[in-house]
A and B are shown apart, each in its own frame.
Chain A
Amino acid sequence: MQEKTPPAWGTPPDAAPEQPDAAPADSAYTQWYEVKKGDTLWKIAKEVYGDGSLYPEIFKANQDTLSDPDKIQVGQQLRIP
């Protein structure tokens, strides 16, 4: 019996390109955080989640206003999922 060749790593050519998850619509229960001087997404994630490495969750939830996770502004309102 012929052995099957394992597939090459990477996205199969016919697969659709990955789309970033759309942020859910805001509701009265959306949690907001106002950026303070010295804040980073890592620090905010550490404060809210206990774990700074979860900062991508905050970035994902704010892609409508954040294009770069390292560029946040004092006074900016961020959704905290």
Chain B
Amino acid sequence: MKSKSAFAGFLSLVMAAVLLAGCANQMEPAKKAIADIEAAAAAAGPDAAQYIPDQLQSVTTQIADLKMKFDQKDYKGVIAAAPALLAQAQGLTAAATSARQAAEAAALEAFNSEWGTLAADLPGQLAAVTSRVGILSKSKKLPAGLDAASFEAARSGADEAKALWDQATAAQAAGNMEQAVMAARQVKEKLNAAMAGLGMSAG
């Protein structure tokens, strides 16, 4: 009798040892699996955060869940879930690149469209303001409602607008649409201010 219970006890010990060894054997693979997934997610870089934040958040949340499983020593569960999550994480790079390229193309289209409007509008406005400033510069006396300070502000505004327009057209010719549009917007602001200062009616 004594030998039977001793044997059962011994058997339990052996089984526990086997289980423990089995768990320990899976710990390292589970740890590596999580590390691989994290590395794949990180490889997507800042583009993922900027262009596919929801997808990145989903992967990040699932990594956190996997880590919780690991902490609970559910290494089997980690290993079972890892392949699918790894595939998702690896897909982030291509998804982020695609989303970035789509955003850049949309932005370029918007710049091109805005440039078309500004390029049709600004030369006429610049000519009108430049002409008026030139004629008033010859005047013996400024018209009623226009003082010297306002005229000087309009004149320097027109000069700055001309220089900026040259920069804008050069940027456009070089294919730098963002810079071209930024400069053209400033031209518009300066010309509007000059026209207001000179008492000219807007188009």
Contact = CB atoms under 8 A, between A and B. Distances in A.
Interface of A: 24-25, 27-31, 46-51, 53-54, 57, 81
A46 B203 CA distance: 24
Interface of B: 121, 123-125, 127-129, 131-132, 135-136, 138-144, 146, 195, 200-203
Contacts of B202: 29
B143 A24 contact: no
A31 B130 CA distance: 13
21 contacts: A24-B131, A27-B124, A27-B125, A27-B203, A28-B203, A29-B124, A29-B195, A30-B128, A31-B128, A31-B132, A31-B200, A47-B143, A48-B143, A49-B135, A50-B140, A50-B143, A50-B146, A51-B138, A54-B135, A54-B139, A81-B131
Contact of A81 (B132, B140, B143, B144): B132
Contact of A24 (B127, B144, B203): B127
Contacts of B200: 29, 31
| Chain A interface mostly | loop
Nearest to B145: A50
A54 B138 contact: yes
Contact of A57 (B125, B135, B146): B135
A50 B138 CA distance: 10
A31 B201 contact: yes
B132 A51 contact: no
Given A27-B128, A29-B203, A31-B201, A50 B135 contact: no
